[in-house]
């Protein structure tokens, strides 16, 4: 792809992304269960719910991980940190083991959860929101999540992305807010000619960094929206898509007319 075309694609995605991200906060539908989502969205009262749910993201569907704090609250009658911090490892293991178990790997995740609660108590004075308090850099937030047992770069950057992009947490820079390699974003990047068919997630991530080094994640919302609204896996609606004028995959008007008449 020629640099000029790439530049215009990047500028359009960034403009639209800026608009989408400037909208006021709306509660996030993490699980589809209103009560579980209310707990996770309540960052001021239960910041440890969001943090511990992130720790649970390991080889299970996202919804199954997000709902674990709510299920623990149901089993213990509360998700107050003052109560959770009194639990020993055996208590946490019993909670995770069920029946039914709350996670595919109840023993490992019980250890990670117990250790996360101890880290929040010790490092953050029992208030998990200290992880993102006082306008830290985006890298600081990612690094602080990486320090929790069982959390790798993918989950740490996911957590930072939610905090900055969705919860509108103030940060001093957005360099470490990455694009999320979701299925819609991958398809749109491929069809726009920004990555090759079958490119790895790393290629996608570095492509976004190349296009906007100071805030790679800004390319995410517009790409996701295009993927959900027009760029369907089968029969993309290129006539309605605002990227059609730049997109190498979109049929030209003449080709579209020929297709219509065939
Ligand atoms: S113009 Fe068509 S192929 Fe290109 S991004 Fe839009 S919907 Fe997808």
Per-residue model confidence as pLDDT tens digits over 75-103: 988 999 999 999 999 999 999 997 899 89
Average confidence (pLDDT) over 142-156: 94
- Own/partner contacts of 120-127, CB < 8 Å, gap of 24 or more, are 120/48, 120/51, 120/81, 120/85, 121/81, 121/85, 123/147, 126/81, 126/82, 126/85, 127/47, 127/81
Pocket test for ligand 1, best of 8, 13, 188 (most atoms within 8 A of CB): 188
What is the per-residue pLDDT for 261? 39
Q: How confident is the model at residue 2 (pLDDT cuts 50, 70, 90)?
A: low
131 pLDDT higher than 50: yes
Residue 177 contacts residue 216 (beta carbons within 8 Å): yes
The yes or no reply on domain 3-22+178-253 and CATH 2.40.50.140 is no
Closest by CA position to 51, among listed 63, 59, 43, 62: 43
The per-residue pLDDT for 52 is 97
For the domain covering 34-166, report its CATH number: 1.10.340.30
What CA–CA distance (Å, rounded) separates 137 from 140?
A: 5
Confidence (pTM): 0.85
Share of the chain above pLDDT 70, in %: 95
The rounded Å distance from CA 94 to ligand 1 centre is 50
* Residue whose entry in the numeric block shows the structure tokens 């719910």: 49
* Whole-number pLDDT of residue 98: 79
Query: Is 3-22+178-253's fold the same as 34-166's?
Result: no
Q: How far is the CA of 141 from the centre of ligand 1 (A)?
A: 34
Q: Residue 120: is its pLDDT beyond 80? A: yes
Q: How long, in residues, is the chain?
A: 262
The answer for residues whose C-beta is within 8 angstroms of residue 118's C-beta and 6 or more apart is: none
The CA 180 to ligand 1 mean position distance, Å, reads: 19
Find the 164 Cα to ligand 1 centroid distance in Å. 28
- Residue whose Cα lies nearest atom 7 of ligand 1: it is 231
| pLDDT of the residue at 262 | 38
Report the atom number in ligand 1 closest to the C-alpha of 236: 7
Backbone angles phi, psi at 80, to 5 degrees: -65, 140
Task: Kindly list the domain boundaries of the chain, sorted by start residue.
Answer: 3-22+178-253, 34-166
Tell me which residues have their CB closer than 6 angstroms to ligand 1.
188, 191-192, 226, 230-231, 236-238, 241, 243-244, 247, 249-250
C-alpha 20 to ligand 1 mean position (Å): 19
The pLDDT value given to residue 226: 95
Quote the pLDDT of residue 216.
94
Atom 8, ligand 1: residue with shortest CA distance: 231
pLDDT band at residue 33 under the 50/70/90 scheme: very high
**Protein residue whose Cα sits closest to atom 2 of ligand 1:** 238
Q: What are the pLDDT digits (tens) for 198-228?
A: 999 999 999 999 999 999 999 988 999 999 9
The whole-chain average pLDDT of the chain stands at 91
Q: Which atom of ligand 1 is nearest to the CA of 247?
A: 4
pLDDT range class, residue 50, cuts 50, 70, 90: very high
Assess whether pLDDT exceeds 70 at residue 257: no
Confidence of residue 169 (pLDDT cuts 50, 70, 90): very high
Residue 208 CA to ligand 1 centre (angstroms): 18
Q: Which stretch of 25-34, 153-162, 181-190, 246-255 has the lowest confidence by average pLDDT?
A: 246-255
Residue-level pLDDT at 254: 53
């Amino acid at each position: 792809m020629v640099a000029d075309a790439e530049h215009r694609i990047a500028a359009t995605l960034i403009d639209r992304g800026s608009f989408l991200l400037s909208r006021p906060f709306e509660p996030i539908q993490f699980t589809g269960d209103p009560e579980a989502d209310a707990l996770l969205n309540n960052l001021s009262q239960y910041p440890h719910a969001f943090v511990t749910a992130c720790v649970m993201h390991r080889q299970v569907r996202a919804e199954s991980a997000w709902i674990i704090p709510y299920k623990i609250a149901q089993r213990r009658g509360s998700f107050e940190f003052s109560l959770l911090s009194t639990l020993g490892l055996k208590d946490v293991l019993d909670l995770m083991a069920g029946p039914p178990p709350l996670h595919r790997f109840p023993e490992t995740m019980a250890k990670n959860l117990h250790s996360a609660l101890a880290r929040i108590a010790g490092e953050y004075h029992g208030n998990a929101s200290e992880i993102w308090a006082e306008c830290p850099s985006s890298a600081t937030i990612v690094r602080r999540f990486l320090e929790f047992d069982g959390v790798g770069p993918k989950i740490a950057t996911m957590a930072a992305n939610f905090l900055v992009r969705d919860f509108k947490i103030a940060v001093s820079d957005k360099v470490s807010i990455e694009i999320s390699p979701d299925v819609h974003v991958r398809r749109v990047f491929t069809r726009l000619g920004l990555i090759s068919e079958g490119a790895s997630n790393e290629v996608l991530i570095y492509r976004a960094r190349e296009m906007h080094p100071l805030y790679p994640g800004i390319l995410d919302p517009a790409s996701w929206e295009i993927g959900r609204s027009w760029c369907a896996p089968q029969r993309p609606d290129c006539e309605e898509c605002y990227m059609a004028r730049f997109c190498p995959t979109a049929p030209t008007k003449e080709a579209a007319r020929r297709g219509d008449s065939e």
